[in-house]
């Protein structure tokens, strides 16, 4: 039961923080996804209950693919394909690098 309540609380907290940071636009979304990737890697050695509550609940709600996709399309429409492609590639490279860094620390 503790896992369920922790999951709900951390999901709400993650979603709220995402909502606040997403107001910064594409840079905020990029930052959230990179930070979330790093933090998820840091907790990868925890047990199933902690991964569920913290990783899937809190960090899953904190990171956002839908806002990333929306910002990518918006950037392409407003600033062109090169900027949008750079944003997509940069997000992928930075997020994977952050996860690798987090895994190397654990």
Q: What is the pLDDT of residues 42-66, one digit of tens each?
A: 999 999 999 999 999 999 999 988 8
What CA–CA distance (Å, rounded) separates 99 from 57? 18
Containing structural domain, residue 67: 2-105
Q: Which residue has the higher pLDDT, 27 or 66?
A: 27
Taking residues 61-79, report their average pLDDT: 92
Location of structure tokens 């407003």: 78
The pLDDT of residue 106 is 80
HSE toward the beta carbon, residue 94, CA cutoff 13 A = 15
Instruction: Report whether pLDDT(1) > 90.
Output: no
What CA–CA distance (Å, rounded) separates 23 from 21? 5
């Amino acid at each position: 039961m503790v896992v369920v309540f922790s999951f709900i609380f951390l999901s709400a907290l993650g979603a709220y923080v995402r909502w606040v940071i997403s107001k910064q636009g594409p840079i905020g979304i990029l930052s959230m996804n990179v930070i979330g990737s790093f933090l998820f890697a840091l907790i990868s050695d925890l047990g199933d209950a902690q991964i569920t509550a913290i990783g899937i609940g809190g960090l899953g709600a904190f990171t956002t693919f839908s806002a990333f996709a929306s910002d990518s399309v918006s950037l392409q429409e407003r600033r062109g394909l090169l900027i949008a492609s750079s944003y997509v590639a940069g997000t992928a490279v930075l997020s994977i690098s952050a996860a690798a860094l987090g895994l190397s620390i654990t």
